[in-house]
């Protein structure tokens, strides 16, 4: 019976030593108060594993909280199995091997748990508006009770917002509006784009409504993870969202087979055979990208036209592997332009190009837009060619890590809205603080929603 009681105490308090038990009780008491201050039931502090998840919610680190909870559970199970194995020493064959295996597993999980502990307590420090040096006290079990007790029981330490406040904020960020469908142009009314992770629905994009007229060249801006690629895939129909996407009055989703020729997408990576000539590369692409009823003679004529547009006529017989970086980029774009799309989307077309070559490439894209096409471009160096764009779309991750629309409109208006004098500074404004940004995504998403929909 004493052994059983000792196992329970050791499991719950981490040790049977009186000092460790007292420190653990102080930790639970402080955690109870922290949860209460954040609008969460305090008794969650006494529930193994679940308390990690609830604490992560208070720190606005809910995605990490799920992994934090699972890691804590797995670590405790590994320690429990190790204790059972050690107790059965002499009765189990190869007990030393089992001990080593579960010891390695336990140590590995403990290290992962420490990483998540650092992330969650870093979030708490931000929520309480404290200095980062507090984090040093959160790194060991012998000192972590100190900040927990101080933050929990000292009245002057209060979270900037509660868990329910965040939920209400997310609701207030919803635009509940829609963009008017253009007869000539692109209209996107995206309610949400979701995936399932850890048996839970995760919202990647939400409430993005915009209309782009024909002849506009648009910059798609946003930090890492803001949802730029997800948005593009939703627009071109590659990954359908809960959305209505209309191009020149036609539905991209319900008429996808017909509309696929109206959309050209140039990915960042170049997919070309180095041993083929420029002419053969474009001719092969024409057979794939042009409708089946187009004759061989018409395909050759279209290839010739596109080569002239992008200045590839002088190198038509050159091998792709012998082309310069700029020529390869133009060839990659030409392959998608063969179908004469109404909507042209490019993901970092200037990657690897110097300023002069990038400028020439974007000037060519500007000419394409001037013919009545819609051109949407992602680039990580927008300021060197920003004068060539008509509008900018700014996507930002809110506190729930969901991509939202923080701005769509003219370039100069965007600078005034964000009170920044460059596109790179706008990205910095909406990026999270742990990503080197200013952490103002929620503020600007809400501000834009109020501007657009009152």
pLDDT tens-digit series, residues 298-335: 989 999 998 888 888 888 888 888 888 788 888 888 88
From 135-149, 238-252, 433-447, the region with the lowest mean pLDDT: 433-447
Cα–Cα distance between 402 and 260 in angstroms, integer?
A: 28
pLDDT in tens, 129-141: 888 889 898 888 7
pLDDT at position 344 is 92
pLDDT in tens, 357-381: 888 889 989 999 999 999 999 998 8
Binned at pLDDT 50, 70 and 90, residue 2 comes out as very low
CA atoms within 13 A on the CB side of 261: 14
What are 64-67's contacts with CB under 8 Å, separation 24+? 64/116, 64/119, 64/120, 64/123, 65/120, 66/198, 66/200, 67/116
Q: Which residue has the tokens 């009545």?
A: 372
Q: Is 388 helix (H, G, I), strand (E, B) or coil?
A: helix
Domain boundaries, the chain: 2-160, 170-453
User: 288 versus 382: which is more confidently predicted?
Assistant: 382
pLDDT at position 92 is 55
Beta carbons within 8 Å of 282's beta carbon, 6+ residues apart: 303, 306, 307, 312, 331, 334, 335, 338
Cα–Cα distance between 261 and 258 in angstroms, integer?
A: 7
Answer yes or no: are the C-beta atoms of 345 and 265 closer than 8 Å.
Answer: yes
Q: Is 317 helix (H, G, I), strand (E, B) or coil?
A: coil
pLDDT at position 413 is 95
Radius of gyration of the CA atoms of the chain, in A? 28
CATH value of 170-453 in 3.40.50.10380, 3.40.50.300, 3.40.50.2300, 3.10.20.30: 3.40.50.300
Answer whether residue 437 shows pLDDT above 90.
no
Got the DSSP string for 335-363? HHHTT--SEEEEESTTTT--HHHHHHHHH
Answer whether residue 350 shows pLDDT above 70.
yes
Q: Closest Cα to residue 362, out of 186, 217, 216? A: 217
The CA distances from residue 373 to 160, 179, 306, 391, 412, in Å, are: 47, 20, 15, 14, 22
Q: Is 425 helix (H, G, I), strand (E, B) or coil?
A: helix
What are 365-373's contacts with CB under 8 Å, separation 24+? 365/217, 365/333, 366/217, 368/337, 368/344, 369/215, 369/216, 369/217, 370/215, 371/215, 372/214, 372/215, 373/214, 373/215, 373/341, 373/342, 373/343, 373/344
Please calculate the CA angle 277-283-285 and round it to the nearest 5 degrees. Answer: 105
What's the chain's average pLDDT?
83
Answer yes or no: are the C-beta atoms of 189 and 243 closer than 8 Å.
Answer: yes
Answer whether residue 173 shows pLDDT above 60.
no
Answer yes or no: are the C-beta atoms of 364 and 302 closer than 8 Å.
Answer: no
pTM recorded for the entire structure: 0.69
Helix (H) or strand (E) holding 204: strand 200-213
pLDDT at position 1 is 44
250: DSSP letter: E
Cβ neighbours around 146 below 10 Å, total? 16
Question: β-strands 185-197, 242-247: how paired?
Answer: antiparallel
Answer whether residue 285 shows pLDDT above 70.
yes
Length of the chain: 454
- Give the rounded distance of the alpha carbon of 252 from its chain centre: 24
* CA-based end-to-end distance of the chain: 67
Answer yes or no: are the C-beta atoms of 205 and 192 closer than 8 Å.
Answer: yes
Please calculate the CA angle 201-268-374 and round it to the nearest 5 degrees. Answer: 85
pLDDT in tens, 15-72: 567 777 888 889 989 999 999 998 889 999 888 888 888 998 888 787 778 888 888 8
pLDDT at position 420 is 93
Binned at pLDDT 50, 70 and 90, residue 3 comes out as very low
Q: Is 255 exposed, middle or buried (0-12, 13-18, 19+ CB in 10 A)?
A: middle
Cα–Cα distance between 185 and 203 in angstroms, integer?
A: 27
Q: Closest Cα to residue 397, out of 243, 227, 235? A: 227
Cα–Cα distance between 349 and 280 in angstroms, integer?
A: 22
């Amino acid at each position: 019976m004493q052994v059983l009681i000792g196992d329970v105490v050791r499991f719950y308090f981490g040790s049977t030593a009186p000092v460790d038990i007292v420190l653990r009780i102080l930790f639970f008491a402080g955690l109870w108060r922290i949860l209460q201050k954040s609008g969460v039931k305090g008794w969650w502090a006494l529930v193994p594993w679940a308390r990690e998840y609830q604490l992560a919610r208070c720190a606005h680190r809910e995605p990490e909280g799920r992994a934090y909870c699972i890691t804590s559970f797995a670590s405790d199970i590994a320690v429990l199995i190790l204790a059972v194995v050690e107790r059965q020493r002499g009765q189990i064959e190869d007990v030393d091997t089992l001990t080593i295996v579960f010891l390695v597993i336990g140590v590995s999980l403990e290290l992962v748990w420490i990483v998540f502990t650092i992330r969650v307590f870093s979030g708490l420090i931000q929520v309480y508006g404290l200095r980062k040096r507090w984090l040093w006290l959160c790194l060991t079990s012998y000192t972590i009770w100190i900040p927990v007790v101080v933050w929990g029981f000292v009245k002057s330490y209060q979270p900037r917002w509660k868990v329910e406040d965040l939920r209400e904020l997310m609701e207030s960020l919803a635009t509940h509006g829609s963009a008017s469908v253009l007869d000539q142009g692109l209209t996107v009314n995206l309610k949400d784009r979701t995936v399932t992770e850890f048996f839970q629905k995760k919202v990647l994009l939400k409430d993005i409504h915009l209309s782009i007229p024909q002849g506009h060249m648009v910059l798609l801006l946003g930090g890492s993870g803001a949802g730029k690629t997800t948005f593009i895939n939703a627009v071109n129909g590659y990954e359908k969202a809960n959305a209505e996407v209309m191009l020149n009055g036609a539905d991209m989703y319900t008429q996808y087979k017909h509309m696929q020729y109206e959309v050209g997408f140039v990915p960042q990576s170049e997919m070309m055979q180095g041993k083929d000539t420029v002419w053969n590369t474009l001719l092969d692409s024409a057979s794939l990208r042009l409708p089946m009823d187009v004759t061989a003679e018409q395909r050759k004529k279209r290839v010739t036209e596109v080569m002239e547009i992008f200045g590839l006529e002088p190198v038509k017989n050159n091998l792709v592997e012998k082309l310069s970086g700029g020529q390869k980029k133009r060839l990659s774009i030409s392959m998608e332009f063969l179908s004469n799309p109404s909507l042209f989307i490019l993901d970092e077309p200037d990657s690897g190009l110097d300023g002069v070559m990038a400028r020439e490439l974007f000037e060519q894209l500007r000419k394409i837009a001037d013919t009545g096409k819609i051109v949407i471009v992602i680039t990580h160096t927008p300021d060197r060619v920003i004068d060539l764009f008509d509008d900018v779309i700014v996507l930002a991750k809110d506190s729930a890590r969901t991509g939202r629309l923080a701005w769509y409109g003219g370039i100069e208006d965007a600078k005034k809205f964000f009170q920044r004098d460059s596109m790179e500074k706008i990205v910095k404004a909406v990026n999270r603080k742990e990503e080197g940004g200013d952490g103002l995504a929620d503020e600007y998403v809400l501000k834009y929603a109020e501007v657009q929909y009152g």
